[in-house]
Structure 1
Amino acid sequence: MSIKTEEISSLIKKQLANYQDTISVEETGTVTYVGDGVARADGLENAMAGELLEFDNGVYGMAQNLESNNVGIVVLGDYTGIREGDTVKRTGRIMEVPVGDALLGRVVDPLGRPIDGLGEIKTDKTRPIEKKAPDVMERKSVSEPLQTGIKVIDALVPIGRGQRELIIGDRKTGKTSIAIDTIINQKDQDMICIYVAIGQKESTVRAAVETLRRYGALDYTIVVSASASNPAPLLYIAPYAGAAMGEEFMYNGRDVLIIYDDLSKQADAYRELSLILRRPPGREAYPGDIFYTHSRLLERAARLSDDLGGGSMTALPIIQTQAGDVSAYIPTNVISITDGQIFLNADSFYAGQRPAIDAGTSVSRVGGDAQVKAMKKVSGTLRLDIASYNELASFAQFGSDLDAATQAKLARGERTVEVLKQGLHQPQPVEQQVVTLYALGHGYLDSLPVDDILRFESELANFMRANHQDLYDQIKSTGKLPEGDALDQAISSFKDTFETSDQKKSTAADQDESQEAEN
């Protein structure tokens, strides 16, 4: 058998053409354990905390425990395809997510992958999910309002841009509804919204997305969904991924509203991960760093100084309580991190007070500085009025003879409680809220039956828009009440034409009688 020199030379030429002088060196490890969304691997001596690691089957993991003889990895996906003995390699990248305008209007998972069926998200920008919060000197004080469109919040527990305001209450008391209504109210306010759904049913997230789409709010919103069917690591990183997406806008001078719904489920997911990673359990089996888990997330919400562009990120974390117990471990942790809380009372909710905000327990520690002057003026005594009404009402049910002053206070309190009721997905502009509360505080509602209050409010708003839009514009542009008695005259002229339910019935009865007489 003879070998031709032409064949040998062609083979050599082919080998030389494909020759590469760069040597690829990858640090790899071997999986020694896998289960419950967690893997352990040895051999990754130089792995970094939070580094992205890749398994043989293409699934990624994040280095979490850096121990002397192995690395604890949380698997960010389906771990059932990983086996002991598989290879895992370092990527050299800290865990990051895609960011930018391309994500607006989309529903993504905590890794930034689209899950809404609308195709690929085209962006080449990424940010690490973990980032140090802005320092004290990089921030400035909260002085601009973030209007929620909900009367009781904007009047009693106002929120400023850059604030962290906790929404807390039992399940099914309207926490998510407040968050969704706040997003809807940001239309035309130059505000980017991010809604992070943690541990919720996919059908629930779908309903929220459809609500945002119906009210035109999805165009400026990013929805990050880590549903109940996802593994615990995705539930744990979801809020950090949302914060990273928000920081991209904040550091470019934009205003961002981010909602974490809810951090109770994230805490449960982190507890599950920590126990599987064999970290020592603490109170209620939560790991010792559960406070740090939430504090390093919420501290990233800030209003940046002018040198950094003046952007802001306002955080509304949600916490679920058991039987209204705000003194439990996770609620007290998050209360101590945030700048106030909006407490939802289950008893008020079932009694028909929607939104069921407890004015006595709810507080905003910085939002008052960002409240417009007109709102501050008309809502000054509102909290005291509600507190004194609740106190009087509890005594009045035991006694029948009440003096005129007490009866007047009770009547005003009933109307105050009625005015603060608001329908679902019906946020109101601040100028409309101011006029309504002005009418309440100046006694225009005192003579009306309680059942007619909300109709009076609605018809007053329509009357003002049709006949006195200039007063609305003045409140909106200046943030102050109109000078003189223009507002009083407008409300008085409307009230003179307003018919109560009893008047309508008597008018209808008179018409029926006259018709019968004619026949």
Structure 2
Amino acid sequence: MHRLRLLKGLNLRNLRSKLGVEKAKINYRYMSTVESVNIKKNVAETSKLNILNKKVKDDNSNLKVGKISQVIGAIVDVQFDETPPSILNALEVELDNKKLILEVAQHLGNKVVRTIAMDATDGLIRGQAVKDCGKPISIPVGKETLGRIMNVIGEPIDECGAIKCKKMLPIHREPPLFTDQSTEPALLITGIKVVDLIAPYAKGGKIGLFGGAGVGKTVLIMELINNVAKKHGGYSVFAGVGERTREGNDLYHEMITTGVIKKKKIGTNEYDFSGSKAALVYGQMNEPPGARARVALTGLTVAEYFRDEENQDVLLFVDNIYRFTQAGSEVSALLGRIPSAVGYQPTLATDLGALQERITTTKNGSITSVQAVYVPAD
């Protein structure tokens, strides 16, 4: 009996041992298969990245080419092998068959630059090639922009074809010299009786519409566009900075209805905008902070061209200038700057000053700016 039990015990041990060996073999095969799949996947991704990087280098042999070293939300670090590009230069990276524009904000040392993305960075990977455009973000200007909707980098977003412009201008420009500015006082008649009687607007000045959420700032701007832009001899530029997309859509269709924008279809994806009086630049609240922090400069650059080159009296509507400040605060925090009171960026006065100093009257023409200012509840 004892011998039988011993034999059974030995057989059971042998069986367990065999099962253990088989299990180990299965695990080894499984791990080998997984490892093989991962290696093939990594090789495929590396090959794809190498092909993409080689294409960028071949296409831009005369331009500086760097590689992405880090991506933190809207902030992208780029490593260069040679002298890094200048501050405010535009960089370009290919993402899903589209061009993503980055703007150089800081030099970190060791030929690394920290940039702000003008669109979503989803899909970017470390090691991806980035080329230096050699100049700041430049946008189309001129009469070809009238009737069109552009984004922060000057691309049309109204699905009406490309903007066939004759001239491009950088969005970062110096304000007019003191000797070129004019200080002759003149009134701007709005057609809104309560405004013209109690708080008349100065032509060539800056007007702020202060108020909390939902009190009618955007509605008043739309009324001003309706009253002034139609009767006004010059052109109007509307910059939508961090506001609702629905409001921007309503404004565009209202402009078409009232004749401020004249849109006529002449072919497949081709439209004639002759006779239009307004250009629109949108960077709405769904956009990344980089776009919202620069879209006001894009709209201002369009207005400056009409003032300086066409000698026009231009109306510039900004809705909402507070969102410009908010976007600057977001970007500043991502760049690692120490915030000031209430979380605002330490460069708040500099950022706003650089924008507002360019909105002025010169001997050639004027820019009259109406800006909605959201007043936060805190």
**TM superposition score category, shorter chain reference:** 0.7 to 0.9
Match of 2:42 in 1: none
Shift of 1:239: 0.3
Q: TM-score, normalization: structure 2?
A: 0.75
Q: Which has the higher contact order (CA 8 A, sep 6+)?
A: 2
Of 314, 318, 341 in structure 2, the residue corresponding to residue 283 of structure 1 is 341
Residue 97 of structure 1: SS of its match in structure 2? strand
Work out whether 1:205 is the aligned partner of 2:248.
yes
Cα distance in 1 between the residues matched to 2:260 and 2:220? 14
Shift of 1:62: 0.8
Of 102, 107, 110 in structure 1, the residue corresponding to residue 144 of structure 2 is 102
Match of 1:227 in 2: 284
Cα distance in 1 between the residues matched to 2:87 and 2:156? 26
Work out whether 1:147 is the aligned partner of 2:147.
no
Q: TM-score, normalization: structure 1?
A: 0.55
Work out whether 1:170 is the aligned partner of 2:212.
yes
Work out whether 1:122 is the aligned partner of 2:164.
yes
Cα distance in 2 between the residues matched to 1:279 and 1:198? 23
Of 317, 320, 324 in structure 2, the residue corresponding to residue 266 of structure 1 is 324
Shift of 1:142: 3.8
Cα distance in 2 between the residues matched to 1:146 and 1:191? 13
Cα distance in 2 between the residues matched to 1:64 and 1:217? 38
One-letter amino acid of the counterpart of residue 213, structure 1: I
1:380-459 maps to which residues of 2 (within 5 A)? none
Unaligned runs of 5+ in 1: 1-22, 326-519
Of 14, 30, 45 in structure 1, the residue corresponding to residue 83 of structure 2 is 45
1:71-110 maps to which residues of 2 (within 5 A)? 71-110=113-152
Q: Is the 8 A contact 1:147 1:159 kept in 2?
A: yes
Match of 1:26 in 2: 63
Q: Is the 8 A contact 2:360 2:368 kept in 1?
A: yes
Shift of 1:280: 1.7
Match of 2:54 in 1: none
Match of 1:428 in 2: none
Shift of 1:188: 3.2
Q: Is the 8 A contact 1:298 1:315 kept in 2?
A: no
Cα distance in 2 between the residues matched to 1:207 and 1:225? 13
Shift of 1:162: 1.2
More strand by share: 2
Residue 85 of structure 1: SS of its match in structure 2? coil
More helix by share: 1
My pick for the range that moved more, 232-241 or 185-194, is 185-194
Unaligned runs of 5+ in 2: 1-59, 262-275
Shift of 1:125: 0.9
Work out whether 1:63 is the aligned partner of 2:104.
yes
Cα distance in 2 between the residues matched to 1:193 and 1:174? 21
Shift of 1:198: 1.5
Shift of 1:304: 0.7
Deviation per CA, 1:78-112, whole angstroms, max 9, x where unpaired? Answer: 31121111121211111111111011111111112
Q: Is the 8 A contact 1:50 1:63 kept in 2?
A: yes
Q: Is the 8 A contact 1:198 1:265 kept in 2?
A: yes
Q: Is the 8 A contact 1:147 1:185 kept in 2?
A: no
Cα distance in 1 between the residues matched to 2:285 and 2:345? 21
Of 124, 145, 161 in structure 1, the residue corresponding to residue 203 of structure 2 is 161
**Regions of 4+ moved over 6 Å:** none
